[in-house]
Structure 1
Amino acid sequence: MSVRYAVYLAPACDTALWRFGSSVVGYDAETGADCVAPALCGFAPEDWRGLTDEPRRYGFHGTLKAPFRLAPGMDETDLFAALAGFAMEHHPFELPPLEVRQLGSFIALVPPAPVPALDDLALDAVERLDAVRAPLSEAEIARRKPENLTPRQRAHLHRYGYPYVREDFRFHMTLTGKLQEPAMGHAVNALSEAYLASGAHMPVPVDDVVLYMQEEAGARFRILHRAPLGA
């Protein structure tokens, strides 16, 4: 089965943050439509589109549980039930206004400081929803380049299907693919200006978790379902 699912945080689709993030990556995962990129100083629209190929495939989001295939014998009914059970154990909370930051070779929106409720939500998603996840294939493991991971990250990859969980988790909402200097510095400045101008630099209510689906390899992820927290 080539269908994959992922559990993400995504702002409500009528918010300035959703509009900003979707326009930056060039795709609205709610509607499935392409988006016009914001005017970014120093970047032509066609050049910017090339720099966001990777995040465009996934849609604007922050990862809680990375993409996975369903375990043998599981179907969407089982997935929806597991997601609802997980979500109801957590209360809604709020993130402080996110900030544009460089994370290694890409740029993302991140909280300015740790948010314990967010870390707890992510850890519980990784562990509670693992029962519906199929183990990674050898090819999927190889694509993660385990030789470049720390021993702990390799252990996470084999145990949970994703290396950046538990102690290695850092919540972020990806805005670009890999960048090099001087494009990196220019992009951080341009995105910071556009972000502040968009009106999206506001506290972020977290009152649901969002199930995304990729129908086939290489396809873009779409929003499939929102599960309310504490419902």
Structure 2
Amino acid sequence: MRYAINYTPSAGDPLTLAAAQWLGRNPFSGEAMEPPATRDLGLHEIAFNTAVPRRYGFHGTLKPPFRLADGIAEPLLLRNLMHFAGQHERVRLPKLEVVRLGNRFALGPCEHSEALHLLAGAVVQHFDAFRAPLTEAELERADPGHLSAAQFANLYRFGHPHVMDEFRFHMTLTGPLGPQEIGRFEKVLRRHFEPFLERPLEIANLALFVENEPGAPFLVHSLHPLGSVMSRKIA
């Protein structure tokens, strides 16, 4: 079993529902969903090119997937996550936009947020004590020979290359696309998501995702509101 600490909007948020439709699966219920009908892409093209993000569910990674260390049980992780969330304030972003990351698409902030960067770093550091060390097979799959020096150090220190100064918040929408597909996917993604991206985004919770067995789809286990009860009432 693996866990991940992410951000995802609440189950009823319009962005959650739009992303679940696009990816073909609701990460809260596990329910399969039909991709949006569009004349620019076939349903099979959408399904094929969203297979990887569909398994992980709509989310922005804060603490990448990890196995629990020996002697750590789920209730202890949950208690610590609840306490940690209560000690850290919500983060407000101007808004998200459809962004291209190499040959993939995601939703990302329209500008850098230092508050979000600091929150992600705090999550990685605090919960590293709950993470089992990577196995040799896991290290090999990370392909350390192709990492920068900073990414290599992160992999061995925190179990993942793209954390701390290498972190970039994003919510993945596709797997890798071929050159002939990028333009068509970008057009459809903007049309599908932009109506839901007009308002600012508030990172209001930490979401615990769970992979029950290797290769199984990740599901939202629980949402943990950021900020003390008093500060949330004032907000």
Smaller-chain TM-score range?
over 0.9
CA apart distance, 1:40: 3.6
TM-score, with length taken from structure 1:
0.95
CA contact (8 A) 1:17 1:201 kept: no
CA contact (8 A) 2:7 2:207 kept: yes
Q: Report the equivalent of 1:188.
A: 186
Moved over 6 A (4+): none
Q: Report the equivalent of 2:208.
A: 211
Seen in structure 2, the aligned counterparts of structure 1 residues 161 and 40 have a Cα distance that, compared at 3 Å, is farther
- Alpha-carbon distance between aligned partners in 2 of 1:206 and 1:26, rounded to the nearest angstrom: 23
CA apart distance, 1:211: 0.1
- Alpha-carbon distance between aligned partners in 2 of 1:131 and 1:93, rounded to the nearest angstrom: 24
Higher alpha-carbon deviation: 65-74 or 202-211:
202-211
Q: Report the equivalent of 1:48.
A: 46
Q: Report the equivalent of 1:124.
A: 122
- Answer yes or no: is 1:5 the counterpart of 2:16: no
Amino acid at match of 1:51: N
Q: In angstroms, what is the RMSD of aligned CA positions?
A: 1.2
Deviation digits for residues 182-214 of structure 1 (CA, Å, limit 9, x no counterpart): 1012111110111124x3432222221000000
Structure 1: state its 5+ residue gaps: none
- Alpha-carbon distance between aligned partners in 2 of 1:213 and 1:41, rounded to the nearest angstrom: 35
CA contact (8 A) 2:97 2:197 kept: no
CA contact (8 A) 1:108 1:172 kept: yes
TM-score, with length taken from structure 2:
0.94
CA contact (8 A) 2:97 2:194 kept: no
Structure 2: state its 5+ residue gaps: 229-235
- Alpha-carbon distance between aligned partners in 1 of 2:226 and 2:193, rounded to the nearest angstrom: 27
Amino acid at match of 1:21: A
CA contact (8 A) 1:156 1:165 kept: yes
Summarize the alignment of residues 1-231 of structure 1 with structure 2, pairs less than 5 Å apart.
3-197=1-195, 199-231=196-228
Amino acid at match of 1:225: S
- Alpha-carbon distance between aligned partners in 2 of 1:82 and 1:96, rounded to the nearest angstrom: 29
Amino acid at match of 2:24: G
What is the percentage of aligned positions where both structures have the same residue? 39
- Alpha-carbon distance between aligned partners in 2 of 1:99 and 1:39, rounded to the nearest angstrom: 21
CA contact (8 A) 1:11 1:204 kept: no
Q: Secondary structure at the match of 1:130?
A: helix
CA contact (8 A) 1:40 1:191 kept: no
